[in-house]
Amino acid sequence: MNIAEKLTGFAEPLCGDSTISDVRIGLGYSCVELDNGGMGVAWTPSRSPTGSCTHLSHAGGLLGLAAKESLSWLNSDTMLERAVGLATFNALNSKVSRNFVDDEAISLLKLQAGEHVVMIGHFAPIEQRIKKTGCRLEIIELDPGKPGNLGILNTRQDFSALARCDVAIITATSIINKTIDALLAAMQNSRAAVLLGPSTPLCPEAFAGTRITQFSGAHVLQPGKIKAIVSQGGGTMLMKNFLQFHSVSI
């Protein structure tokens, strides 16, 4: 099974009769709120590849939709549906008790001078901090429009740098753009790897047998604030005061 299938299989028993009570699809993030009070967020893909002005065929009919149905979209062929599916997963998983730690995600990696670190997805706010450890940082970014001197992932999806790295930092948006399984397969010798960002499914069970050692994501503290920020085009920097960032390790 691929990661999307494993996440779906883990969360299906959590669905019960839960339904969507609210959903927001913003320019930066989407969020799903369930009738049991659970809320999850996930990155919003930038555009529909169809060129249509309708980005989600289910639009207008999401409220009251069974959580099991929107969860199944993790396996969709449509990126925006996968985003809603991941937000649904995170809403369901928010009710699962785990041994979380609240230490800052990068500090938990205990980076050492000279180590080769590969970052999949450009996390600009932590780039300089990582470099100050003395490690060698290589950034691979799918979006060629991102600023800075980045290594750009080509259309062949060449993840060979992951086979050589000591530590990998992987954006959870890789679940939405369907690169996560190829990324995991490419990792061979890393001593540590973190799945990072508000989209992260804090679910070690789904990644058993992979080289991921740490999951660093977030729980929603103030749903009303998150819905307003998401609806008005905000992203992580605006949401962070209304999220609780956690990590869990395998």
Asked if residue 56 is part of any domain, the answer here is yes
Domain count, the chain: 2
Q: What is the pLDDT of residue 53?
A: 75
In whole angstroms, what is the distance from residue 201 CA to residue 41 CA? Answer: 10
The whole-number pLDDT of residue 154 equals: 45
Same structural domain, 144 and 70? no
Q: What is the pLDDT of residue 156?
A: 46
In this prediction the pTM is 0.93
Q: Is residue 249 in a domain?
A: no
CATH number of the domain to which 134 belongs: 3.40.50.11590
Q: Tell me, yes or no, whether 26 lies in a domain.
A: yes
Domain that holds residue 153: 105-218
The predicted pLDDT at position 158 comes to 67
**Which among 242, 249, 194 has a CA at the least distance from the CA of 220?**
242
Residue 246 main-chain phi, psi, to 5 deg? -130, 160
CA dist 160 → 53, 74, 130, 151 (Å)? 37, 26, 21, 12
The verdict on 77 and 162 lying in the same domain is no
Residue 246 lies in a domain: no
Q: Is residue 167 part of a domain?
A: yes
Question: For residue 8, is it within any domain?
Answer: yes
Domain at 228, CATH number: 3.30.390.100
> Residues 211, 226: one domain?
no
User: What residues contact 235, with CB distance under 8 A and at least 6 apart?
Assistant: 28, 29
Burial label, 237 (beta-carbon count in 10 A; 0-12, 13-18, 19+): exposed
Q: Is 211 in the same domain as 120? A: yes
**Claim to verify: residue 116 and residue 201 sit in the same structural domain:** yes
Residues 205 and 115 in one domain: yes
State the CB neighbour count (10 A cutoff) for residue 221.
13
Q: Based on the domain organization, do 233 and 204 belong to the same domain?
A: no
Q: What letter represents residue 93's amino acid? A: N
Same domain for 231 and 194, yes or no, is: no
CA distances (Å), 205 to each of 9, 140, 248, in order? 10, 27, 11
Same domain, residue pair 113 and 207: yes
Instruction: Locate 81 and state its tokens.
Output: 């549906």
- What pLDDT is recorded for position 238? 98
- Is 245 inside a domain boundary? no
Residues 125 and 62 in one domain: no
Residue 146 pLDDT: 60
Same domain, 140 and 208: yes
CA neighbor of 195 nearest in space, from 165, 217, 179:
217
Q: What is the pLDDT along the chain (250 residues), one digit of tens a residue?
A: 999 999 999 999 999 999 999 999 999 999 999 999 999 999 999 865 556 777 888 888 899 999 999 999 999 999 999 999 999 999 999 999 999 999 999 999 999 999 999 999 989 899 999 999 999 999 888 765 565 555 544 434 568 889 999 999 999 999 999 999 999 999 999 999 999 999 999 999 999 999 999 999 999 999 999 999 999 999 999 999 999 999 999 8
Kindly state whether residue 248 falls inside one of the protein's structural domains: no
Shared-domain flag, residues 129 and 70: no
